[in-house]
Amino acid sequence: MTTDSLPGKVAVIGAGSWGTTFAKIAADSGAARKAEVQIWARRPEAAEEINSTRRNTRYLKDTVLPANLRASADAAEVLAGAQLVVLAVPAQTLRERLREFRSLFPKDAVILSLMKGLEVGTDARMSQVIAEELEWPENRIAVLSGPNLAMEIAREEPTASVVACSDLAVAGWIAAACTAPYFRPYTNTDVIGTEIGGIVKNVIALAVGICEGKQMGDNTKASVMTRGLAETTRLAVALGGKTETLFGLSGMGDLIATCSSSLSRNHTAGRLLAQGLTLDEVTETMAQTAEGIKSAQAVLDRATQLGVYMPITENVVAVLQGAISVDELGPRLLARELKPEGVHAS
Ligand SMILES: NC(=O)C1=CN([C@@H]2O[C@H](COP(=O)(O)OP(=O)(O)OC[C@H]3O[C@@H](n4cnc5c(N)ncnc54)[C@H](O)[C@@H]3O)[C@@H](O)[C@H]2O)C=CC1
Ligand SMILES: O=C(CO)COP(=O)(O)O
């Protein structure tokens, strides 16, 4: 696989904020070589709006989409002939979508996951769900992750990201197919570390959002983020990921962006919980995917199986389950026994 033959057709499954924004990146990137990008929208009205107005107003109010980006609610049409298939649906819905579309995937396509969730019940990463459901070879499944708030990228604010694949040449091929003047993808081969960084930062962003909602200051938030990165790294390494990945764009980079931004849905969910909304009210108010809410329990289950200590995650889960109040989160974390700082100290 070389960058001499980049994909002539890219299919994007999921027309939410990130699916649509990534489709714009791929279309901008491929415009000069006349590449076509097609996006699958669950709602036919959304596809119709994209095709007739070049906008997806529900998710990206002010963005005009490129002319070489088309949409359809017909997955067969979107997937036909695609060399790169990009998946951007909520993590807990991925398996059912793959089962539905399985026979439509072009057999030699490369699959790229944009999703940052862990499947409830199996604790599987999205790349594992794809490999299982489609019986796809590992070296043709990649993930993209990093400090990538969709809204900022849709406005073409300069951003970096990481494409991870066990085959570095495949990661490089994808990176070349989605590089744009405002988007710079790096590559690595650590799929596990890259995915875990993106998954767990959502849980840490819930905790930071709670701190923010309780009017706590920057010291508190920086302390949660830093120790959050430590527990994320412990889990990633226990699963086979690399420490250095967690100190890169898909670990520290994404953690900083998500925990600092009011654009983040996970951060927003934490703030709303701190303001006294119930979990159901938070979900209803936001009407967008905050993966940390569902993934937190799966992260904790996986950590428990592996004997990895994740105190922030454990307490966020307790808040989400209603076992403790948002006011108890801080005191419970601070009352623990004192210990050396190291990332791998449990
Ligand atoms: N929005 C962002 O800034 C970023 C999001 N991500 C990740 O991308 C993934 C997708 O998130 P977003 O696009 O932001 O979510 P979103 O909430 O903006 O959109 C989700 C999309 O999935 C569709 N959908 C909902 N239920 C579905 C189902 N059962 N089957 C198929 N489609 C369904 C919705 O209609 C919508 O088009 C998540 O894992 C998220 O963590 C990653 C990086 C940035
Ligand atoms: O993953 C993201 C930024 O990199 C988006 O975060 P939220 O899902 O919290 O909005």
pLDDT computed for residue 2 by the predictor? 80
55 is in an annotated binding site: no
pLDDT in tens, 143-178: 999 999 999 999 999 999 999 999 999 999 999 999
CATH number of 9-189: 3.40.50.720
CA–centroid distance, residue 150 to ligand 2 (Å): 8
pLDDT of residue 56: 98
The proportion of the chain whose per-residue pLDDT surpasses 90, expressed as a percent, equals 96
Is ipTM strictly over 0.85?
yes
Q: Is 332 annotated as a binding residue?
A: no
Q: Which tens digits make up the pLDDT trace of 281-336?
A: 999 999 888 999 999 999 999 999 999 999 999 999 999 999 999 999 999 999 99
The residues with which 186 forms a beta bridge, in sequence order, are: 162
**In this predicted structure, what is the pLDDT of residue 27?**
98
> Is the minimum distance from the CB of 88 to ligand 1 under 6 angstroms?
yes
Digit-coded pLDDT (tens) for 213-249 = 999 999 999 999 999 999 999 999 999 999 999 999 9
Please check the confidence at residue 3 and state whether its pLDDT lies above 90.
Answer: no
- Torsional sign, CA 51, 55, 57, 60: positive
Could you state, in order of their start, the residue ranges of all structural domains in the chain? 9-189, 192-334
90 Cβ inside 6 Å of ligand 1 = yes
Q: What is the pLDDT of residue 264?
A: 97
Ligand 1 binding pocket includes 221 (Cβ within 6 Å):
no
Cα 289 to averaged position of ligand 1 atoms, centre (Å): 6
Percentage of the residues of the chain whose pLDDT score is greater than 70: 99
For residue 103, pLDDT beyond 90: yes
CATH, range 192-334: 1.10.1040.10
Q: Is the pLDDT of residue 250 over 90?
A: yes
Q: Is 201 a catalytic residue?
A: yes
| pLDDT at 287 (0 to 100) | 84
pLDDT at residue 68 greater than cutoff 90: yes
Q: Is the CB of 148 under 6 A from ligand 2?
A: yes
| Distance from residue 215's CA to the centre of ligand 1 (Å) | 29
pLDDT in tens, 116-133: 999 999 999 999 999 999
Q: Across all residues in the chain, what is the average pLDDT?
A: 97
* Ligand 2: centre distance to CA 147 (Å): 8
Q: Model confidence at 81, in pLDDT bands (50, 70, 90)?
A: very high
**What does the pLDDT read at residue 342?**
83
Q: Which of 24, 201, 242, 294 is catalytic?
A: 201
265 is in an annotated binding site: yes
Model confidence pTM above 0.95: yes
pLDDT surpasses 80 at 346: no
| Residue 344: pLDDT over 80 | no
Ligand 2: which of 258, 261, 294 to mutate, most ligand atoms within 8 Å of CB?
A: 258
Taking CA atoms only, the protein residue closest to ligand 2 atom 6 is 264
